[in-house]
Amino acid sequence: MGISVNGSVREVTSPDHRLLVDWLRDDLGLTGTHVGCTTSQCGACNVMVDGEVVKACTVLVASCEGSEVTTIEGLGTPEALHPMQAAFKSAHGLQCGFCTPGMVMAGIAIANAHGPDVSEATVRHELEGNLCRCTGYQNIVAAIRAGARAMAEAGLLKEPA
Amino acid sequence: MTPFTLERPESLGAARRAFSGDAAFLAGGHTLIPAMKSGLRAVETLIDLSRVPGLESIRREGDRLIVGAMARHAEVAASPVVAAAIPGLARLAAGIGDPQVRRRGTIGGSLANNDPAADYPAAVLALDAVLATTEGTHAADDFFQGMFATALGDGEILTEVQFRVPEAFAYAKFRHPASRYALAGVAVARFPEGVRVAVTGVAYSVFRWADAEAALSAAPPAPVPPLVRDDINSDIHASAEYRAHLAGVMLARAVREMMP
Ligand SMILES: Cc1cc2nc3c(=O)[nH]c(=O)nc-3n(C[C@H](O)[C@H](O)[C@H](O)COP(=O)(O)OP(=O)(O)OC[C@H]3O[C@@H](n4cnc5c(N)ncnc54)[C@H](O)[C@@H]3O)c2cc1C
Ligand code: FES
Ligand code: FES
């Protein structure tokens, strides 16, 4: 059956106890998804599974057979960034960049759930599963709000269910 | 992580049969996978319940709100059926962990695990719920049997939680700022015959606070005496004295939220 990763189907040949994050990074070489804590706290490993942002260090790859997975590599290209990535760049939403792939993923989930006019308080509340050791969050929050507006302008927001 | 084989059964019967020897069920995995990663748990067979149909349904049946064991915290938080029947339960679900945890974690996993600081056990106990399993049913009063211990037998699958819809319900917790588990969490439910109060995070397992129930059930309600027990948890996060105090504060907050 395999797993569709950023649009192409990949077979899973690793043992059943393999974590999704290890499969992505070590077997597929998609090292944009980071491992910050390994203890389900930091969100650096956030990826999208069937459209939902989850912590890939706390999901078994074997449980994802038949699913669609999107990683940071699948969002945009260096020449054509995803609007949320572009917003992190222009709002200085990163310093060392370690937490950024997970923050961008969380940002997209927030934009999809709360729309272009999401409040600062909502963004902060929704970021509780993402830790950043550098920025103090101020510019991350600004980037996500700007990214949500840019996603709406680009017609990329999911229709509310 | 110690290697295991993952089974993905597509019916409840197949899931039940897949359980043999050193096995465990996998729901949202947000307790079990961290425990296996850190070496606290190891199994030979893991049985993923996510393909078993019907376990995530949320519905109203008479005076009961039924929540399937595989309902994710985020689904309970967003469910209009829950919001109409027991709005405080939707708010409780919305306060578990963080958004990513709520997208994976399930009510069944939380109850089967019975973490002494988990949120759902307090609601289940206060709301006098019935827990339905592959083997029969358990009353909430008999289900929680101590730290990480429940009435579930080996291979018994929790299928749904049947909450009794109360006149009013509220849950207040003082969150640990990092884990967001309860340092103290108090659930209060008012039924025609009286008030039930359940406390989590404070002792080694969720418990009913008899003095608070008696005081709040009296007409007119009487002042609630301070919480006194000899098994109040004391650790680096909070002393026993502080937890007992927090329980009183959370009780007051929950009662205030229930006022019309
Ligand atoms: C970062 C983080 C923060 C968290 N914060 C909170 C919090 O604030 N409050 C809180 O209450 N919880 C919190 N949790 C725990 C979270 O709610 C878990 O998801 C939940 O406790 C377990 O549910 P699960 O579906 O993930 O179960 P799993 O991890 O899959 O399973 C847990 C246990 O239950 C058994 N089990 C699962 N389903 C069934 C079933 N249907 N029948 C029989 N046995 C079953 C499993 O075999 C296992 O032993 C947090 C977790 C994390 C990682
Ligand atoms: S590495 Fe997965 S949450 Fe930190
Ligand atoms: S930018 Fe360094 S951890 Fe967030």
Q: Is the dihedral of CA B99, A53, A33, A39 positive or negative?
A: positive
> Which of A55, A103, A110 is the best substitution to test chain B (most B C-beta atoms within 10 A)?
A55
Query: Nearest CB to A38: which of B37, B50, B103?
Result: B37
CA gap A64, B107 in Å, rounded: 21
pLDDT tops 60 at residue A126: yes
Can A3-74 and A83-153 be said to share one CATH topology? no
Contact A63 B50 (CB under 8 A): yes
Average pLDDT value for chain B:
97
* Model confidence pLDDT, tens digit, residues B153-203: 999 999 999 999 999 999 999 999 888 999 999 999 999 999 999 999 999
State the amino acid at position A109 in one-letter form. A
What residues flank ligand 2, with Cβ below 6 Å?
A 35-38, 40-45, 55, 57
* Model confidence pLDDT, tens digit, residues B97-141: 999 999 999 999 999 999 999 999 999 999 999 999 999 999 999
Q: Are the CB atoms for A3 and A9 separated by under 8 Å?
A: yes
Query: Nearest CB to A17: which of B3, B30, B38?
Result: B3
Task: Domains for chain B: give ranges and CATH numbers.
Answer: 1-48 (3.30.43.10), 168-258 (3.30.390.50)
CA gap B9, A65 in Å, rounded: 13
Return all residues near B140 (Cβ < 8 A) that are at least 6 apart: B124, B125, B127, B128, B129, B130, B131
Domain ranges of chain A: 3-74, 83-153
Return all residues near B197 (Cβ < 8 A) that are at least 6 apart: B126, B186, B187, B188, B189, B208, B209, B212, B213, B216, B251
CA gap B191, B127 in Å, rounded: 9
At B86, phi and psi to the nearest 5? -140, 80
Q: What is the pLDDT of residue B6?
A: 97
Q: What is the pLDDT of residue A158?
A: 85
- Distance, C-alpha B138 to centroid of its chain: 14
Contact A59 B29 (CB under 8 A): yes
Query: Nearest CB to B104: which of A19, A54, A62?
Result: A54
Ligand with smallest separation from the Cα of B70: 1
> Which of A23, A37, A39, A40 is the best substitution to test chain B (most B C-beta atoms within 10 A)?
A40
Q: Is the dihedral of CA A46, B5, B43, B49 positive or negative?
A: positive
CA gap B151, B229 in Å, rounded: 23
Choosing from B7, B32, B44, B152 the residue with most ligand 1 atoms within 8 A of its CB, the one to mutate for a pocket test is B32
> Which of B46, B50, B56, B100 is the best substitution to test chain A (most A C-beta atoms within 10 A)?
B100
Ligand 3 proximity of A88 Cβ (cutoff 6 Å)? no
State what percent of residues in chain A have pLDDT above 90.
97
CA gap A86, A20 in Å, rounded: 27
CATH class of A3-74: alpha beta
Nearest chain A CA: its distance from B137 CA (Å): 29
| Average pLDDT of the residues in A93-100 | 97
Q: Are the CB atoms for B155 and B167 separated by under 8 Å?
A: no
State the amino acid at position A46 in one-letter form. N
Bridge partner residues of B5 (DSSP): B45
Three-class secondary structure assignment of A46-98: EEEECCEEEEHHHCEHHHHCCCEEECHHHCCCCCCCCHHHHHHHHCCCCCCCC
Query: Nearest CB to A129: which of B3, B4, B101?
Result: B101
Q: Which of A102, A97, A85 is nearest to A40 (CA)?
A: A102
Please give the CATH number for the structural domain made up of A83-153: 1.10.150.120
Residue nearest to atom 41 of ligand 1 (CA): B158
Give the Cβ contact number of residue B18 at 10 Å: 18
* Model confidence pLDDT, tens digit, residues A18-54: 999 999 999 999 999 999 999 999 999 999 999 999 9
| Average pLDDT of the residues in B19-43 | 96
Confidence of residue A160 (pLDDT cuts 50, 70, 90): low
Return all residues near B236 (Cβ < 8 A) that are at least 6 apart: none
* Residue whose pair of structure tokens reads 């296996």 in the numeric block: B36
DSSP state of A9: E
Ligand 3 proximity of A92 Cβ (cutoff 6 Å)? no
| Average pLDDT of the residues in A56-61 | 98
Q: What is the pLDDT of residue B170?
A: 98
| Average pLDDT of the residues in B58-69 | 98
Number of CB pairs, chain A paired with chain B, less than 8 A apart: 76
Ligand 1 proximity of B173 Cβ (cutoff 6 Å)? no
Ligand 3 proximity of A97 Cβ (cutoff 6 Å)? yes
Contact B99 A106 (CB under 8 A): yes
Q: Tally the C-alpha atoms within 13 A of residue A107's C-alpha that lie toward its C-beta.
A: 33
pLDDT tops 70 at residue B258: yes
Contact B100 A41 (CB under 8 A): no
